[in-house]
Structure 1
Amino acid sequence: MPGRRPLTFADACRAVLADPAAAHSMDTTLAPVHARTVPEDWGERRSQLVRRRVPTGVDRVLELGCGLGALLAPLGTHYEVVGADDRRAHLRFPAARGESVVCGRPVAPPVHSAFDAVCVLEPAVARHSAFDVCGGAYVALRPGGIVILAAPTDPEAVFDPEVETYRGSRYRLERAVDIGSDDVVSIDYRVTDRRDGDSVVTSEQRPLELTSTEGLTAALRSAGFTNVRVAGESDLPGVVVGTGVRPIDNGPPGGDRTAHSLDPAETGGWADDRSDE
């Protein structure tokens, strides 16, 4: 994997052609392909969703499971924003754009009691139990802070079952998405070298964690949040949005957590990272 620069579409295609049987996925080798599937207005629409629920006086916002960082720039025009994710291939994209990111699992963030608000969006919630995500958000919030969590109730809120073709100067990649009855997403990738005609196929399967209004309400309350509100979002079918406040007089479950800021020494050097190129 080349340095800390983001992988390119050509990097991804070459890796699949070289070893199609390897464990390629949108979280690793195929991150640049996933980047091409994100709609242009996705980040701005989610920024509006978050901002409508953030109270006045909020300065620092953490996005858990920020992935490729599509939300960080639009939200960063209003707040001091940090993104956290455990997928280094994804973090390289926002880091190269100069955005602040830290490497850590959304369900066990490397920061404690440090943020005024925490947001978690549907692609991140779909990777973990809503109960675990709410627990991670609670830990990262300062007492009195608010969580905004968008959770999928339908798999098509996270993946569109479709076939798309992406092209570069040398490679063509066809991506086919199928959603099974068990809410497991199967993704097939056919990569073709347009110079010599070589073509290979690799696949991945992704189980999704879905919830409901009642399920997200229970997850927020179980984590310790108060003032819990959960409702659907009119322009986002298959998604429910919940908010909750970390009580001022209660510590997080599992013992004392001392507030501290992001420190590259603690987080593997990924706080406020920059691309080498």
Structure 2
Amino acid sequence: MEQMGYIDNSYAYDTVCRARDKERPKAHEFAENIIKKQIILHGDRFFADDPCVFGGIGLFHRIPVTFIGMRKSKEISENIKFNFGMPNPEGYRKAIRLMEQAEKFSRPVITFIDTPGAYPGIGAEERGQGEAIASCIACMSRLTVPTIAVFTGEGGSGGALAFAVANKVIMMENSIYSVLSPEGFATILWKDASRAKEAASIMKLTAKELFDFGVADDIVKEDDWSSEEAKKRNFLRLDRTIQYHLLKLMDMSKENVLKSKKEKFFSMGEINGVRN
């Protein structure tokens, strides 16, 4: 795997801006370039189909896998349809349905994460948003099939964590993962959202910082996304990184797959064997 250079905290908010860049490929574009012969599945079998959450069955290097992710768009009309990448409860229940199906048929699960967080609207709360997120976290934590979470852009709060309780967490170089947005952090801590840049510098939300704390297992280097050739290189790097980790996980027994996931989460926050 490629070694990443140090990312200075002073540039943390620049990373946030790159993760949010509307021209950056969205999670479904990553999935389309990685997972072939996709069959998209819809609905949670309880209430509705959440268009923000996509998922289904496909082939990754001829390996049948289940894939799940969040949709955003570069167009405002589609972004409204996809709720700006913020899933509703039915989206998380759709994910649970797909994860349970993957467990039943022994298919690895690959998730593609790009969300500012779960949708906090009144309707979502009335339909059990908190319970849906918690149930999705619990479901993914119990899976005995190999699980890989890929952060392609933003990773906000429990909305992202619900798709990230995985054996391996892979982050694109300019993706982020945090308990909430820098703006929300600054508002809570200092009552001043304009201090978001300062907040980002202390939140430990960059890929390099999360790798150091054992939250991320690998970082995929990014070239500028402005050219088609650069996009191909970036997608190929991610493809190779997923393949490397998935093949190792597939060599493990179900018991060891689950054990390795537990060990990963219990050791988070340790640097050189010492808990920070």
TM-score (norm 1): 0.33
Which structure has the higher relative contact order (CA within 8 Å, separation 6+)?
Answer: 1
TM-score (norm 2): 0.33
Larger of the two Rg values belongs to structure: 1
